[in-house]
């Protein structure tokens, strides 16, 4: 009875997950679900910047500042200096323009 009710409750989400190509795993004796997007398996840490997204004060050219690389994606263009992660952090901290970073 509980499993049938759970299947009815999760039907909409299960169908949506299948349309997106996700895997659906019943958990808790069938009364819950775990959804997983298999595209996460393609991501790995950038070996150039070791996941930091930058090298020194420059944006990492290998991952374009993201810190991860997609095994199937085409190489991307480097992030412009005005959009680098360090500049964004400095702006959020309201550091003066000439302050050491």
pLDDT at 76: 55
Residue whose C-alpha is closest to residue 67's, from 89, 45, 43, 39: 45
Spell out, as residue ranges, where the chain has pLDDT lower than 50: none
Q: What's the number of CA atoms in the CB half-sphere (13 Å) around residue 99?
A: 10
pLDDT at 62: 85
Whole-angstrom CA distances from 82 to 12, 88, 89 are 43, 8, 11
Predicted TM-score (pTM) of the model is 0.50
Quote the longest CA-to-CA distance of the chain. 67
Neighbours of 62 (CB within 10 A): 17
């Amino acid at each position: 009875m509980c499993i049938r009710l759970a299947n009815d409750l999760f039907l909409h989400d299960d169908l949506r997950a299948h349309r997106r190509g996700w895997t659906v795993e019943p958990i808790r004796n069938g009364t819950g679900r775990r959804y997983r997007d298999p595209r996460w398996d393609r991501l790995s840490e950038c070996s150039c910047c070791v996941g930091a997204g930058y090298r020194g004060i420059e944006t990492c050219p290998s991952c374009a500042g993201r810190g991860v690389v997609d095994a199937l994606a085409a190489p991307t263009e480097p992030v412009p200096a005005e959009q680098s992660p360090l500049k964004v952090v400095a702006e959020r901290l309201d550091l003066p323009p000439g302050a050491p970073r």
